[in-house]
Amino acid sequence: MISNEQPAKVRALAMELKAARERAGLRTRDAAVKIGTSAPTLNRSEKAKRFSPIEDVSALLAIYGVTGFERMRLMELAQDLDKPHWVESEGKSHRITPSLRLFEAQATKITQFANALIPGLLQTPAYIRALMTATPFSDEGRERLVAARLERQAIFTKIVSPNYEVFLDERVLRRQVGGADVMVQQIQWLLARMEQAHISIRVIPFKHGYYLDPGAYMLMEFREDFPIVYFESAAVSGFLHKADSIHRYRGFTSTMNLMALGSADSVKFLTSMVADYERG
């Protein structure tokens, strides 16, 4: 059994195993029988109410027909489930990205702060490609990464989309990625997104002075499960689930709310930024 503060890794593994079972067309009872356990026990695993033994995970993946890289990824995910937080160092963030997509898709509310780059959920293809020029991947590999990031944005096309509130530090908008034309297109895309009722984008301008920068983060809230914080930097990225961490990041969000322009003034600010870039 685990505490009500469900670790992110346990929750991610639970979602992955449930999805794999459903793709295999098996009922919980049938899968449980095949690995010699009970349906209630497997059900608790799929709801992140228990740690899934590594032997069970291995057997389930075999039953579900999960092989190759995907099997390796999920077996890796099933390691160290009892760690207090899930943090990956530079170069290993790919271990987290699939789970981030799952959490984003399940969230009912997402609050995000960006201090350096436009958030991935709001990036245009041109902006993403400009970022990818600094990576060692081939053109084909970069296009796969572009497609994967755009796929994340599909959460906003669902019938029931999460409420999404974003705070952008002004430097995110001032830092050119890909040149002026790319920035014009990107900011115009932000303005278009702001017309959607469930999306709020607010700017924290330089003129509002100093505030404690907590680093880029995303606070995700869910209908039934406890909130999770995703944070990222150049050195590390990961998930936090403990109540004190959630409380701390809610405090950061309160600060952003006080520092940021209102919605109408943010629209004016972004519109003026488009004009600035167009003038060169």
Q: What 3 state SS string does the chain have? A: CCCCCCCHHHHHHHHHHHHHHHHCCCCHHHHHHHCCCCHHHHHHHHCCCCCCCHHHHHHHHHHHCCCHHHHHHHHHHCCCCCCCCEEEECCCHHHCHHHHHHHHHHCCEEEEEECCCCCHHHCCHHHHHHHHCCCCCCHHHHHHHHHHHHHHHHHHHCCCCCEEEEEEEHHHHHCCCCCHHHHHHHHHHHHHHCCCCCEEEEEECHHHCCCCCCCCEEEEECCCCCCEEEEECCCEEEEECCHHHHHHHHHHHHHHHHHCCCHHHHHHHHHHHHHHHHHC
Query: Between these two residues, 214 and 134, which has the higher pLDDT value?
Result: 214
Which domains does the chain carry?
8-77 (1.10.260.40), 88-279 (3.30.870.10)
Structure confidence at residue 91 (pLDDT): 67
pLDDT above 70 coverage of the chain, percent:
97
| pTM for the model | 0.91
Assess whether pLDDT exceeds 50 at residue 144. yes
pLDDT band at residue 1 using 50, 70 and 90 as cut-offs: very low
Model pLDDT for residues 201-235, shown as the tens digit of each residue: 999 999 999 999 999 999 999 998 999 999 998 88
When pLDDT is averaged across residues 180-184 and rounded to a whole number, the result is 97
Assess whether pLDDT exceeds 80 at residue 67. yes
Assess whether pLDDT exceeds 90 at residue 146. no
Model pLDDT for residues 77-114, shown as the tens digit of each residue: 999 888 878 988 876 777 788 899 999 999 999 999 99
pLDDT band at residue 4 using 50, 70 and 90 as cut-offs: low
Structure confidence at residue 2 (pLDDT): 46
